[in-house]
Amino acid sequence: MMKKTNKKAQLGHATTWLHKFFILVLVIGGIIAIVTMHYSKQYDVRDVEASVVARNIVECVAPGGILKEFNEETIRNCFPFNEEEIYMNITLENDNLVFGNDFLATLCKAEGKKVKVEYYPACLEERYYVLENDEGKTLNLFIAIKKIGKNL
């Protein structure tokens, strides 16, 4: 009789211990899950990157707002870029310079029309007032950045 009672007590003790162990696992697991969720989020920095690229183009073509040189070579010497990952359309009045993958521009238009695509590129449109021979002109920029595997 005595032995039987001891066995039951041991069983009960083991059950309680297992329950407490489960709580411990849940608490530690929960903390790890929350921390992982916060720190493993992928940040899409392509919009900021597009803005920085735009600034670089303007500073290169028109430093201080005064137009210096508007040609393909100036832009290419300005900063390195991967033509597969970027699309740049730079327009000054009637002059137009185009670089990179023009399919990205199509994807940007698709985004505007709310066509469902798995990954959109980051699209940016900007307008600058610049001076050319003391005359005010508008510099239009359209930039699209893919970089899905890198900056998204």
Are the CB atoms for 87 and 104 separated by under 8 Å?
yes
By CB neighbour count within 10 A (0-12 exposed, 13-18 middle, 19+ buried), where does 101 fall?
Answer: middle
Binding residue for another protein, selected from 16, 36, 77, 96, defined by CB under 8 A:
16
Are the CB atoms for 60 and 78 separated by under 8 Å?
yes
Q: Does 61 bind another protein (CB under 8 A)?
A: no
Residue with tokens 């041991």: 10
Q: Does 8 bind another protein (CB under 8 A)?
A: yes
Least distance (Å) from another protein to the CB of residue 126? 6
> Site residues for another protein, window 110-129 (CB under 8 A)?
124, 126-129
Least distance (Å) from another protein to the CB of residue 134? 5
Q: Does 37 bind another protein (CB under 8 A)?
A: yes
* 40 vs 119: CA distance, rounded Å: 19
Q: How remote is the C-alpha of 43 from its chain's centroid?
A: 6
Site residues (vs another protein, CB under 8 A): 5, 8-9, 12, 15-16, 19-20, 22-23, 26-27, 30-31, 34, 37-38, 41, 43-45, 47-48, 50-52, 54-55, 58, 62, 64-66, 124, 126-131, 134, 136, 138
